[in-house]
């Protein structure tokens, strides 16, 4: 009798891998019954990482969005699943354990069946709380292995992680091939090893199509015993996103597997509705090159979704780099030449930083370090001159144990800076904090919500939640959308608008002010010098404004929320190089402190 392979539609990640925003709740409710009518899905990815933040950015209540979006699938008997980042839960920085545990209770009550939990470093200690929390909350615990391709990421390495999380009580394992660089034969061996040792554990494969391996990988893992495959639908399939269900179903049926039929009338309606959402406004924020596969990703290993931000970063630095090359009497570089150099630098940096799997946020750390190295080396300077605080925390082990060994040159930098490596449990550095947020709710006179869901939202995304409550988020989104529409001649997929300004001569300034410390953008997004509601049109702080080391000077509104840009030293602001509302890239210098 043929073995059945079941499909999960990763509708959340289809949007997340495409651009800045995911669909609004009204759009999701429109397409939910059509997805059900397709008849081929046993699971749908409904929420999780970035979904809640995006709803807050719209000025909408994410708790209502999750409840309404999950309800039709719950009624139809289709399982729903969410993505969470282990120690970081639904955000980009660590979360206290009591807040993490509340998340599972809330999400189960809202209709989410499965918690897919991953740690970007595959540190089982960061996943222990996820497994225990999900089970206590009544959810199915699915642990995702962050798949990458390196000398240290062997079948034995991944099975070591599996052994721990099965011991903790997880129900399922997902192979999260976020960059799509897992080699098909290797993935098949890994699935076979999991199924042989733990036959009761269900295995799900999630693979992006960026470098082109995913279709072959799906056939290999299916033959090795996988139970579920993550798929997409047009017009948000292929490219750097996920394989389309039509192709994968046809391939598996031909290979002798039992697969459900697709109601093609419903497929075409879902395809049309998704395009309608793109044409409405979501297409304005989709990176145009995301529909293209590229074999260049095989070498650098970066997730496809990172390509858009990387290209934006390079464009932002081109002026400064070429100015420096001109001053050195060297020929300028084209964007394509810089792309190749950056890919090569990523390949150089990655093993020296201990082979962190290139998934959020560690892919950003590796890419940003490579970008800064490239900028410095092209200026005739040493590598590693600029390492941002988040990357340094990763190096020090504060976010988990790196899979590989740090290069001696990195260890030397740590010692020269007088820093110490952290060997404790990462969660221990972030003690329980829920009572503080309970007091905030009481002080504000806010209702904790059904099943404490409003309390959870404040504790998980405090700044974004406050902006939602004040109306600042909705106003900011409308401004962002108006700017995007004004830039376009028609509602088609375009690049996000960038304000063109004269290039700032960083070399000249730093030579003239050797003691000046840069204020660097903490992420790619919209620069905000004030995030209070009254600061929607706020100008940059006046020259001479005092700042304190480690405190935020400004913020960047990224797709997942606001990131603080911290002062690297105490002093006065002596230069402002970016305006309120400018689009900036991570690491971009927006001012100086002295």
pLDDT digits (tens, 9 = 90+) for 1-14: 799 999 999 999 99
| Domain range summary for the chain, segments of one domain joined by + | 6-286, 295-403, 506-593
Q: Domain 6-286: give its CATH superfamily.
A: Aldolase class I (3.20.20.70)
Q: Are 393 and 401 in contact (CB under 8 A)?
A: no
What is the mean predicted confidence (pLDDT) over 488-508?
47
Residue 549: what pLDDT? 86
Comparing 73-87, 438-452, 573-587, the range with the smallest average pLDDT is 573-587
Q: What is the DSSP letter of 404?
A: S
Q: What three-state secondary structure class fits 396?
A: helix
* 506-593: CATH topology: OB fold (Dihydrolipoamide Acetyltransferase, E2P) (2.40.50)
What is the mean predicted confidence (pLDDT) over 375-394?
89
> Tokens 């948000």 correspond to what residue?
236
Element (H, E) at 154: none
pLDDT digits (tens, 9 = 90+) for 465-477: 999 999 999 999 9
d(CA 174, CA 235): 25
**Residue 136 above 80 pLDDT?**
yes
Rounded mean pLDDT of the chain? 89
Q: What three-state secondary structure class fits 476?
A: helix
Comparing 217-226, 262-271, 454-463, 494-503, the range with the smallest average pLDDT is 494-503
pLDDT digits (tens, 9 = 90+) for 429-445: 899 999 999 999 999 99
**Residue 511 above 80 pLDDT?**
no
Residue 498: what pLDDT? 39
For the chain, give the percent of residues with pLDDT over 90.
64
590 vs 303, higher pLDDT: 590
d(CA 309, CA 317): 12
**Residue 563 above 90 pLDDT?**
no
User: Which among 464, 458, 431 has a CA at the least distance from the CA of 444?
Assistant: 458
Distance of CA 2 to the CA centre of its chain: 37
d(CA 576, CA 566): 15
pLDDT digits (tens, 9 = 90+) for 269-303: 999 999 999 999 999 988 777 888 888 788 767 67
Residue 311: what pLDDT? 67
d(CA 428, CA 431): 6
**Residue 559 above 60 pLDDT?**
no
Residue 583: what pLDDT? 77
Band of residue 535 on the pLDDT scale cut at 50, 70, 90: very low
* Listed ranges 203-212, 367-376, 388-397, 556-565; the one with the highest mean pLDDT: 203-212
Band of residue 501 on the pLDDT scale cut at 50, 70, 90: very low
């Amino acid at each position: 009798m043929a073995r059945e392979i079941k499909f999960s539609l990763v509708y959340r990640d289809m949007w997340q891998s495409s651009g800045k925003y995911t669909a609004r709740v009204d759009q999701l409710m429109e397409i939910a019954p059509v997805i059900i009518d397709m008849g081929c899905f046993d699971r749908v990815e409904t929420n999780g990482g970035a979904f809640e933040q995006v709803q807050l950015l719209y000025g909408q209540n994410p708790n209502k969005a999750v409840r309404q979006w999950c309800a039709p699938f719950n009624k139809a008997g289709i399982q729903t699943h969410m993505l969470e980042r282990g120690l970081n839960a639904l955000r980009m920085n660590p979360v206290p354990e009591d807040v993490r545990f509340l998340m599972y209770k809330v999400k189960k009550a809202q209709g989410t069946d499965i918690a897919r939990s991953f740690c970007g470093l595959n540190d089982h200690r960061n996943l222990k709380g996820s497994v225990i929390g999900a089970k206590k909350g009544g959810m199915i615990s699915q642990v995702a292995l962050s798949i990458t391709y390196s000398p240290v990421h062997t079948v034995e390495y991944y099975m070591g992680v599996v052994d721990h999380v099965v011991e903790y009580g997880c129900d399922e394992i997902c192979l999260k091939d976020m960059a799509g660089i897992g080699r098909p034969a290797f993935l098949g061996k890994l699935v076979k090893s999991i199924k042989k040792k733990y036959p009761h554990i269900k295995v799900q494969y999630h693979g992006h199509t960026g470098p082109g391996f995913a279709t072959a990988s799906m056939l290999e893992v299916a033959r090795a015993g996988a139970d579920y495959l993550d798929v997409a639908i047009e017009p948000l399939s292929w490219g750097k996103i996920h394989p389309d269900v039509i192709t994968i179903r046809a391939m598996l049926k031909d290979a002798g597997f039992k697969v459900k039929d697709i109601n093609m009338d419903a497929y075409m309606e879902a395809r049309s509705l998704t395009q309608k959402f793109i044409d409405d406004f979501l297409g304005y924020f989709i990176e145009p090159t995301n529909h293209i596969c590229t074999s260049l990703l095989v070498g650098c290993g970066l997730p496809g979704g990172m390509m858009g931000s990387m290209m934006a970063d390079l464009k932002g630095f081109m002026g400064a780099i070429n100015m420096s090359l001109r001053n050195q009497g060297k020929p300028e570089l084209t964007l394509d030449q810089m792309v190749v150099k950056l890919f090569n630098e990523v390949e150089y940096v990655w093993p020296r930083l201990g082979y962190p799997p290139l998934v959020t946020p560690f892919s950003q750390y590796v890419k940003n370090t490579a970008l800064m190295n490239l900028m410095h080396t092209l200026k005739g300077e040493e590598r590693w001159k600029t390492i941002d605080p988040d990357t340094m925390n990763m190096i020090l082990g504060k976010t988990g144990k790196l899979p590989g060994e740090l290069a001696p040159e990195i260890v030397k930098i740590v010692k020269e800076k007088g820093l110490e490596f952290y060997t404790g449990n990462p969660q221990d550095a972030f003690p329980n904090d829920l009572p503080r947020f309970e007091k905030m709710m009481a002080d504000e006179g806010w209702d904790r919500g059904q099943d404490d869901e409003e309390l959870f939202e404040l504790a998980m995304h405090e700044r974004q939640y406050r902006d939602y409550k004040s109306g600042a988020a909705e106003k900011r989104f409308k401004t962002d959308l108006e700017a995007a529409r004004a830039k376009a001649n028609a509602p088609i997929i375009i690049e996000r608008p960038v304000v063109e300004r004269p290039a700032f001569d960083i070399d000249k300034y730093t030579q003239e002010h050797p003691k000046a410390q840069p204020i660097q953008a903490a992420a790619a997004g919209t620069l905000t010098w004030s995030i209070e509601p009254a600061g929607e049109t706020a100008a940059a702080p006046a020259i001479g404004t005092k700042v304190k080391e480690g405190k935020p000077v400004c913020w960047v509104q990224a797709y997942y929320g606001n990131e603080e840009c911290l002062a690297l030293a105490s002093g006065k602001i002596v230069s402002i190089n970016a305006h309120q509302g400018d689009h900036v890239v991570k690491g971009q210098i927006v001012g100086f402190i002295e």
